[in-house]
Structure 1
Amino acid sequence: MEDFQMTTQDNAAQNTDRDLVLTRLIDAPREKLYAAWTQPELLTQWFAPKPWSTPKAVLDVRVGGASVVTMADENGTEYPNPGQYLEVVPNEKLVFTDAYIGDWAPSAKPFMTVVLTFTPEAGKTRYTAIVHHWTAEDRKTHEEMGFHEGWGQCTDQLEELVKRI
């Protein structure tokens, strides 16, 4: 948990009433973190906060490519999360949204866009997730759903995985 920080973004360049941010310095090369986000067999090992699981992940990692990451609760009820990649810079940056569900087909209810960056820092990787919400109310809902706890736990699981691979 060294150098762990999660805050609502207070940078004037960001929209503070709609953004949630997680950042952590992880002792692993950024290539491993990127792989854990872009390879289904790795993503399914860490993506959902336990005791939930991720039984399926279909990832077409390209600009305009669709993704469907399915999480399941303790009873096995599945919750598919469709989205689309907006920007892909291997080992550096991933941007995806639920506003589209692949090949620019709009979703029924956009909620968020995620900007992930993997930046080398002191022989480690600065992992940053900025979650832009469509409205301040969506941000508040996500925060109340347990954003800090859930994304924090998932980042712990991600960190454990990248140390093993």
Structure 2
Amino acid sequence: MKHHLLFDFTVDKAAKTVFITREFNAELPLVWDAFTQAEILDQWVAPKPWTSKTKFMEFKAGGRRFYAMVSPEGQERWAIQKYTSISPKTNFKLFNAFADKDENPELPGSEWDYTFSEQNGITRVDITIYNESLERLEKMIEMGFTEGYKMSMVNLENVLESLSGVSKQ
């Protein structure tokens, strides 16, 4: 039986916040790994034809990830993330900012809060992205964040399917 998987993407400009809820037909440990391991993140997080390359990632409270979205022409858009809290397999939070290639952040940034839950083999990820300014939220949207993130979620679904090695009925 094929499940209808929830995907909700809401932009609340008044609250300077993006709310994303997405379900995956995969077990929670695999979905958690896809969000917390650089080698898996780089396989799905960039909307095609862009790619992602992580320069470094230390997934722990106080740790950082420095990565770039790379265009087909080789243009790099760098970002830095600092993990502010981690509750294994249930939640992690980070501060995200665009950056230059030398890790200098372009402030203001945004706070991301990821919550994971599983029921009957379906994993749900709730993401809240609070932007420090309306201008930053509008810049994200202007840069194609909405379309790009939706494309990334399809990429993730495909990666999870290939990693699980089993097509669920």
Per the TM superposition, whether the score is higher than 0.5 is: yes
Runs (5+) with no aligned partner, structure 1 = 10-14
Match of 2:76 in 1: 78
Instruction: Identify the match of residue 10 of structure 2 among 3, 7, 18.
Output: 7
Relative to 1, partners in 2 of residues 1:98 and 1:25: Cα closer, same or farther, differing over 3 Å?
A: closer
Which 5+ residue runs of structure 2 have no aligned equivalent? Answer: 164-169
Q: What CA distance in whole angstroms lies between the structure 2 residues aligned with 1:108 and 1:22?
A: 24
- Of the three residues 32, 35, 50, the one matched with 1:34 is 32
Residue aligning to 1:12: none
Contact 2:108/2:133 (<8 A) preserved: no
Spell out structure 1 runs of 4+ moving beyond 3 A. Answer: none
Q: 1:63 aligns with which of 54, 61, 64?
A: 61
Give the Cα separation in 2 of the matches to 1:112 and 1:97.
6
Following superposition, the deviation at residue 154 of structure 1 comes to: 0.6
TM-score by length of 2: 0.82
- Could you tell me how far 1:47 is from its partner in structure 2? 1.1
Q: Deviations over 1:71-113 (max 9, x none)?
A: 10110122221121011122111211136x9xxxx94413211
Offset at 1:144? 2.5
* Corresponding residue pairs, total: 157
> How far apart are 1:142 and its partner, in Å?
1.6
Q: What amino acid maps onto 2:148 in structure 1?
A: G
Question: Any conservation in 1 of the 2:89–2:116 contact (CA below 8 Å)?
Answer: yes
Amino acid at match of 2:9: M
Identity of matched residues, %: 26
Give, as a single letter, the amino acid of the residue that structure 2 aligns with 1:33. V
Aligned-CA RMSD value: 2.4
1:44 is paired with a residue whose SS is helix
Identify the residue that residue 152 of structure 2 maps to in structure 1. 154
The structure richer in strand per residue is: 2
Amino acid at match of 1:7: T
